[in-house]
Chains A and B, each alone.
Chain A
Amino acid sequence: MARKGIAMKALFGNSIRPGLLAALMVTVTAAADEPTKPVSQLAQRLPQAAAEKLFTLEVLPLLKVKCFGCHGTDPEDLRGDYDLTTRDAMIAGGESGEVALVPGKPEDSSLYHAVLWDGYEMPPKENDRLSPEQTELIRQWIASGAPWPGEDVQRRIQQQEWAVRENEDGIIVDTSGGLADDWTYRRYQPDEIWAFQPVDAPDLSAALASGQNPVDYFVNRRLTQAGLTPSGRATPDELIRRGSYDVTGLPPTLEQLQAFRTAADKDADKAWQQLVGQLLDSPHYGERWGQHWLDVARYADTSGFSNDYERSNAWRYRDYVIRSFNSDKPFNAFVLEQLAGDEILAARAAEQEDSPAGLPQCTLDAADSELLIATGFLRMGPWGTAMIPQKEARQIYLDDLVHNVGQTFLAMPLRCCKCHDHKFDPLPTRDYYSFYAAFATTQPAERKAEFLGEENRNGFEPGKKQVEELLAFARGEQKQVQDKQEAAARQWYKEHDLPYKNENQRKNDPEDKKPPRHVGLTPAEKGIKKVREQDVWIWERRLERFEPMVQAVYNGQDDYKNGRKLREPKAINQSWRPSSFILSGGALEAPSEPVTPGVLSAAGLPASDDPDSPWRVTDDLIGRRLAVARWIASDDNPLTARTIVNRVWQYHFGKGLVKTANNFGSKGSRPTHPELLDWLTADFVNHGWKLKRLHTLIMTSQAYQRSGRPVDASALAQKDPDNQLLSVFSPRRLTAEELRDSVLQVTGELNTEMGGLPVMPEINMEVALQPRMIQFSIAPAHQPSATPDQRNRRTIYTYRVRGQADPFLEIMNLPNPNESCELRDSASVTPQAFTLMNSDVMTDRSIAFALRIRSEAPKDDVSAQIQRAFALAYGRAASSREVASLSDYLKKMQAYHRDVTPEKVEYPRFVTRSLVEEFTGKPFEFIEKLNVYDGYTPDAKPWTVDADTRALADVCLLLLNSNEFLFVY
């Protein structure tokens, strides 16, 4: 592996960092966990040469970036009438008439006070505000007499400076170059560009104690340094619950719990190792960790934007992700398939697998369909074309790809460089547009791909039948209105003595030679005509769920696209090449320098053998993405493996070694344990990018197995309140999916069938029937799956609509699928209490739970019932106080429910919709059929069970609401 730049040791040492003029002026601490602040201000006045250098290299560039925008660039528009572009003007000040700068006397200079935000606050925006180091530069410059050398001197100073790649003031990063020299030659502090440096794993062969997990070596070292005593191992009950949720997203069953207790009693280490192995072998592993990936990738079954069209085959990508995790597919192969599965196929077909860039060492034996399904990743963003100019829609698509490929695989959000060179990271706008060019032949489409044997195709027949019925209904309604219109049209032609022409034939006739638009229709019918036309589209599209099609991409020319139906064109122009430019300010109308397809230069990893253009990839129609994917998936890419290793760590511990999992740039966090991150990364890459190995390594560490109880809470609060050093294990709340799945497991209702068509749980009925505007119409209502076993599938298989989330999941902090979610929020908001206590969904679960207990515990034995409920919900026995209190409560509830009779609620067979008709502004109504209820198997409901069951359900509901149920320790 090529080594360049600085050694990792120097990056993170808790040492004093020398600045440009360190000996003379500023010293700054740069510990990873302390804010930077100026420490001393030794010299008051620099020698002339040093001061001129300070001005040229530090102060002037700072002024240009931070001040000239409002105080110089446009002489016609000087804010406060203050010009900063010359020394005289700077001294003279602005409209207040007050002298702004007194050479030699920063304290008397209002300019200096302004940049300190002391009185005036300049620059006025939080984002632009000068750092303490920067204000210190200004102070030092003024104190030194505020020299302003001429341009010749400036040029000479600059060139001397640029010739030195690395000095005390920082490092110049080799990139493809910014739009200005100031940017190209700017210096970075080592810790700002840590992620671009090659992975540098320390050799532990001598350091590790016998049998010690490398994770513990690094973690314990920091704890010792900090003087913190780590907590001991969590109890077996805590451990199995922690591990089980972490790996599978489900609580352990009572049998698993009992077996583990027994095994742990004999040999705790061995029992845990075995358990970790079993959990990772469980097919539920892919469901849990696939969900993490889908969060980042932004999975949904619809397209968002104005129409929120269904992406009818998106589920195949979801299942591909789950399969990939379960088979422990090497992560580099996972990267290649998602970014360029179609091009791998093309390369195979052309037998060009050994392209110059060289395939990374990983297995790529996926079937053809699988490789197309994988490219669903490139279709995960929300996108539409309605009412958006084509070029702009295209730009939205490509920008979304560039940005999200960057943050997903490289932890480098790239959108910042759409309009300018990156303000903080070594990412020139040129690289953004090179990356953009690499995707510029990529076109979204639904493509044909045969079903694979392992894909679950259950429910195709009834599903298709249901959609066909709805389609037939829509067509019938449409025809009625259409027939009425055409009958009137015929009449009109007859009256005007003209031959009849149908709607399409007469479209371009002059107005006096054809009947009025919507002839013969009432205002309501006009509205209905539009609504039903849209319905027909919706149901025709949904039939594609059952077709061997995938949401995928192809390479081809830019042509007209309608998000409603995206298909490959009849002919692909093989010689078509998009012209690629840097777009100034991101504007399509402002192309500037041409660019070629390429990769991010700052990573220091060439994509081509040509030393003159190391960052370039092919500019053929096909192969651009594959080349970029190879570069991303390369063993030597410093970002990719670190990014996924950090994500894995984050999901295990609740926070990453780098807390900003989507952003390893200078504005993201620094790694808390950089050597550990690099060690794990190197180990990961050296052992074939296998995630299960990484999970095992992490989970078998002491750090992972620690109790959540601190040995010394006050020491922890004082020394490490954020628990960065991992002396205890941080508890967490269940995610939305874990909560729903756990409830179903506890009630005995969970159906663990995997994959296939999206399923529809019952959701709040008001929301299910809530009209949701799309273009010209209302989106179809949420109709639940007809049978409990389909409704009660795991949450990852539920239908995800961008325009309407399941309110239960949404309130439990389900992320918005339009943005990549690096880490779930778990804020407690009050409406969660409403949903968990009062919703029909939870009422039904509590009844199912009660029915289960009644079938498994003696009917008349209240305390046995409570014990059974505790065992199922918490995996423990209830204390005598709990039994006493809940028995009393249960008896009161039995008495209560004997006196009340819940009213039966019928399922609706249709819903009446009301829309404001565009033509007249008047509301009109129409019917939407809810045909699932024609043959529906409901759950047990309050009115179908007796009073004692309802009373027991009250107890069950409390357990499902309790903190013990919702938190994992």
Chain B
Amino acid sequence: MSALARRDFLYGLGSSLGALALTDLQAQEQAAGPLAPKKPMLDAKAKAVIMLFMEGGPSQVDTFDPKPKLTELHLSESKRTAGLANGKRFYVGSPFKSRKVGQSGIDMSDQWQFLAEPEVADELCVYRGCKAESLNHPEALLHMNTGSRLGGDPGLGAWATYGLGSENQNLPGYVVMTELALPQAGPANWTNGYLPAYYQGTRLRSTGSPILDLNPPVYKDRQHQRKALDQLAMLNGQHADRHPEHADLVARMESYELAYRMQMTVPGIVDIDSEPEHLQKSYGLDRKETAAFGRQCLMARRLVEQGVRFVQIFSGGWDSHDYLQKGHSARIASVDQPIAALIKDLKARGLLEDTLVVWTGEFGRTPDNNYRGGVTALGRGHNADAMNMWFAGGGTRKGTIVGGTDEIGAAAVDVVHPIRDVHVTMLRLLGLDDNKLTYFHAGRFKQLSQFGGELIPELIG
């Protein structure tokens, strides 16, 4: 496709806007392929991102933000009226003990065993100041993943690959791994939105074909596929000869050859049996409760190692309205060892320095609960005013706690920032300026933060 045709095609730009409307990025894209690696705008601390998304809303006070005061208040009546709270409510103290771990003394509930090891814990930068703004799962998920609550805007990984391209042209630049069930709001969480389709997240499936229809039906072997593609190239070649004026044809022909190469590279990435057994074990692949998430964490490391720009893993089931103790303890147990192994593995390979690991949910949880079915259910509601998340590597400030919540963990009070500021900061670590990483769509330059945000300098090392 000619550069101009492609621009026209991709951006639907009014040409009256002409050169003025083309951002530098869009211009770069004209010159090279859409996923060709691009130079960051600013000095980049991170090259890649692994985002560990705890869907459902992990509770801050039961993970990394302990509140002794809440334990004192346990089961006493709560007068909070924030959010959707109504009816009689009571406080719920954490069922877990907390302790300070590592040299840095980061707070962690005792459910975290592996993450608490000093060599892991001291890598973390725990952030307690974020406010999520939405109380419902899909909207909050979309907000955290796309910067907009409404759905239809590009995902974080789409922005990152739009801004930086990908280091490996034989793999998707933006890879998403989920549990068998998709998170709420589904693929809208990793859509390319109004960015061109090249930037959409590609799901690597944990069961079945890693990419949908990656391979032909089993009765057609690889030679069969090669011969078919050769014949197709013959047909398309003859056709292209008749239409020399039409540059799109070449792009489509090339996509079949890339597909053929990906049939080789993708199974290689997914084939984690090639990893040493002790490493597999360290990710918890030998234990039922950690095997699924451990596999995905190990795959994430392999992908990042191969130059994939953005990897996202979703782990569901954190929505503990009731039976918090059992719920959170089981969820933590399923991710604790794999995450710790991921950080150690990245570190050992020298990848942690420029790989930003993010652990977050879509919002936090309340310090109190309502009566469910008429009984004191020991769980927590949704909380848009406080949550916790942590970062590791990628130029973040290691071994630190940034920001804080009030004495019962109900609302962020220190270093308070909305989600958009977290996004701005993540982009900044990748060497991208949210205000310049824009895309002209529907009459204005759009950006991840919607209308701009602030850097959270405390998070940067």
A residues lining the B interface (CB < 8 Å): 32-36, 124-127, 131, 304-306, 382, 386-389, 413, 416, 424, 506-509, 511, 514, 516-518, 655, 658-660, 662-663, 665, 667-670, 708-710, 713, 717, 721-722, 724, 728, 731, 733, 764, 766-767, 770-775, 778, 803-805, 807, 813, 816, 818-819, 823, 825-835, 837-840, 843, 879, 881-882, 885-886, 889, 892-893, 896-897, 900-903, 914-916, 918-922, 942, 950, 954-955, 957-959, 961-964, 966-967, 969
**Nearest B-chain residue to A722, judged by Cβ:** B8
Decide: B219 and A963 in contact? CB cutoff 8 A: no
Given contacts A827-B197, A942-B217, contact A961 B232 (CB under 8 A): yes
CA A516 – CA B376 in complex, angstroms?
Answer: 10
Decide: B186 and A804 in contact? CB cutoff 8 A: yes
13 CB contacts below 8 A, A to B, read: A126-B23, A416-B444, A669-B15, A708-B246, A710-B245, A722-B5, A728-B245, A773-B182, A778-B181, A827-B198, A879-B238, A882-B238, A903-B218
Residues of A within 8 A of B208 (CB): 766
Q: Which of A807, A885, A967 contacts B248 (CB 8 A)?
A: A967
B143 within 8 A of A: no
Residues of A within 8 A of B18 (CB): 33-35
What is the CB-to-nearest-CB distance from B222 to chain A, in angstroms, rounded to a whole number?
12
**Nearest A-chain residue to B19, judged by Cβ:** A35
CA A775 – CA B2 in complex, angstroms?
Answer: 47
Residues of A within 8 A of B231 (CB): 885-886, 889, 955, 958
Decide: A962 and B212 in contact? CB cutoff 8 A: no
What is the CB-to-nearest-CB distance from A866 to chain B, in angstroms, rounded to a whole number?
11
Residues of B within 8 A of A889 (CB): 227, 231
Residues of A within 8 A of B5 (CB): 721-722
What is the CB-to-nearest-CB distance from A607 to chain B, in angstroms, rounded to a whole number?
25
**Nearest A-chain residue to B21, judged by Cβ:** A35
CA A766 – CA B211 in complex, angstroms?
Answer: 11
Residues of A within 8 A of B435 (CB): 124-126
CA A514 – CA B180 in complex, angstroms?
Answer: 38
Q: Which of A509, A879, A918 contacts B322 (CB 8 A)?
A: A918
Residues of B within 8 A of A967 (CB): 246, 248-249
Residues of B within 8 A of A33 (CB): 15-16, 18
Residues of B within 8 A of A834 (CB): 211-214, 259
Residues of B within 8 A of A665 (CB): 443
Residues of A within 8 A of B317 (CB): 916, 918, 921
Contact with A along B268-282 (1 / 0, CB 8 A): 000000000000000
Given contacts A708-B245, A958-B228, contact A126 B186 (CB under 8 A): no
Decide: A766 and B319 in contact? CB cutoff 8 A: no
CA A813 – CA B331 in complex, angstroms?
Answer: 36
Residues of B within 8 A of A962 (CB): 232, 235-236, 239
Residues of A within 8 A of B374 (CB): 506-509, 511, 514, 517
Decide: A921 and B329 in contact? CB cutoff 8 A: yes
CA A839 – CA B216 in complex, angstroms?
Answer: 7
Decide: B243 and A818 in contact? CB cutoff 8 A: no
CA A247 – CA B211 in complex, angstroms?
Answer: 35
**Nearest A-chain residue to B374, judged by Cβ:** A507
CA A658 – CA B319 in complex, angstroms?
Answer: 48
Residues of B within 8 A of A305 (CB): 136, 138-139
Which of B97-105, B119-127, B250-258, B353-361 binds A? Answer: B250-258
What is the CB-to-nearest-CB distance from B101 to chain A, in angstroms, rounded to a whole number?
23
Given contacts A36-B20, A921-B317, 13 further A-B contacts (CB under 8 A): A32-B16, A127-B447, A509-B374, A669-B13, A670-B16, A708-B246, A713-B245, A766-B205, A775-B137, A879-B238, A897-B219, A922-B330, A963-B240
Question: Could you say which of A511, A517, A834, A903 has the most chain B C-beta atoms within 10 Å of its C-beta?
Answer: A834
Q: Which of B136, B187, B217, B447 contacts A387 (CB 8 A)?
A: B136
Given contacts A127-B444, A713-B245, A843-B217, contact A382 B151 (CB under 8 A): yes
Residues of A within 8 A of B80 (CB): none
Decide: B375 and A126 in contact? CB cutoff 8 A: no
What is the CB-to-nearest-CB distance from B36 to chain A, in angstroms, rounded to a whole number?
15
Decide: A896 and B224 in contact? CB cutoff 8 A: yes
Q: Which of B12, B200, B244 contacts A823 (CB 8 A)?
A: B12
Decide: A708 and B243 in contact? CB cutoff 8 A: yes
Q: Which of B191, B205, B240, B246 contacts A816 (CB 8 A)?
A: B191
Decide: A731 and B243 in contact? CB cutoff 8 A: yes
What is the CB-to-nearest-CB distance from A925 to chain B, in angstroms, rounded to a whole number?
11
Residues of A within 8 A of B193 (CB): 816
Q: Which of B205, B218, B255, B326 contacts A830 (CB 8 A)?
A: B255
CA A921 – CA B196 in complex, angstroms?
Answer: 38
Question: Could you say which of B23, B188, B209, B248 has the most chain A C-beta atoms within 10 Å of its C-beta?
Answer: B248
Q: Which of A508, A813, A833, A955 contacts B197 (CB 8 A)?
A: A813
CA A185 – CA B5 in complex, angstroms?
Answer: 40
Decide: B235 and A959 in contact? CB cutoff 8 A: yes
Decide: A722 and B4 in contact? CB cutoff 8 A: yes
Decide: A963 and B249 in contact? CB cutoff 8 A: yes
CA A442 – CA B290 in complex, angstroms?
Answer: 51
What is the CB-to-nearest-CB distance from A240 to chain B, in angstroms, rounded to a whole number?
18
Interface residues of B in 258-313 (CB under 8 A from A): 258-259, 262
Residues of A within 8 A of B46 (CB): none
Considering the complex of A and B, which 7 residue pairs feature the smallest CB-CB distances, nearest first? Answer: A669-B14, A916-B317, A921-B330, A667-B443, A921-B327, A35-B18, A387-B136
Residues of A within 8 A of B13 (CB): 659, 669
What is the CB-to-nearest-CB distance from B459 to chain A, in angstroms, rounded to a whole number?
20
CA A966 – CA B377 in complex, angstroms?
Answer: 58
CA A828 – CA B1 in complex, angstroms?
Answer: 11
Decide: A918 and B320 in contact? CB cutoff 8 A: yes
B370 within 8 A of A: no
B202 within 8 A of A: yes
Decide: B180 and A914 in contact? CB cutoff 8 A: yes
Q: Which of A516, A722, A767, A833 contacts B255 (CB 8 A)?
A: A833
Decide: B14 and A670 in contact? CB cutoff 8 A: yes
What is the CB-to-nearest-CB distance from A242 to chain B, in angstroms, rounded to a whole number?
14
Given contacts A668-B14, A818-B152, A837-B228, contact A963 B239 (CB under 8 A): yes
Residues of A within 8 A of B253 (CB): 963
Residues of B within 8 A of A416 (CB): 444
What is the CB-to-nearest-CB distance from A562 to chain B, in angstroms, rounded to a whole number?
14
Residues of A within 8 A of B214 (CB): 834, 838
Question: Could you say which of A516, A731, A837, A881 has the most chain B C-beta atoms within 10 Å of its C-beta?
Answer: A837
Given contacts A388-B136, A840-B217, contact A125 B235 (CB under 8 A): no
Decide: A920 and B326 in contact? CB cutoff 8 A: yes
Residues of A within 8 A of B235 (CB): 882, 958-959, 962-964
**Nearest A-chain residue to B372, judged by Cβ:** A517
Decide: A126 and B256 in contact? CB cutoff 8 A: no
**Nearest A-chain residue to B16, judged by Cβ:** A670
Q: Which of B137, B238, B259, B327 contacts A919 (CB 8 A)?
A: B327
Residues of B within 8 A of A662 (CB): 442
**Nearest A-chain residue to B197, judged by Cβ:** A827
B168 within 8 A of A: no
B348 within 8 A of A: no
CA A804 – CA B187 in complex, angstroms?
Answer: 8
Given contacts A733-B248, A921-B320, A969-B243, contact A902 B16 (CB under 8 A): no
CA A964 – CA B237 in complex, angstroms?
Answer: 10
Decide: B205 and A773 in contact? CB cutoff 8 A: no
Residues of A within 8 A of B322 (CB): 918-919
Given contacts A804-B186, A889-B227, contact A900 B84 (CB under 8 A): no
Question: Could you say which of A509, A658, A921, A963 has the most chain B C-beta atoms within 10 Å of its C-beta?
Answer: A921
Decide: A663 and B443 in contact? CB cutoff 8 A: yes
Decide: A771 and B188 in contact? CB cutoff 8 A: no
**Nearest A-chain residue to B249, judged by Cβ:** A963
Residues of B within 8 A of A813 (CB): 197
CA A17 – CA B256 in complex, angstroms?
Answer: 50
Interface residues of B in 370-414 (CB under 8 A from A): 372-377, 382
Residues of A within 8 A of B417 (CB): none
Given contacts A773-B182, A881-B238, A921-B328, contact A388 B443 (CB under 8 A): no
**Nearest B-chain residue to A36, judged by Cβ:** B20
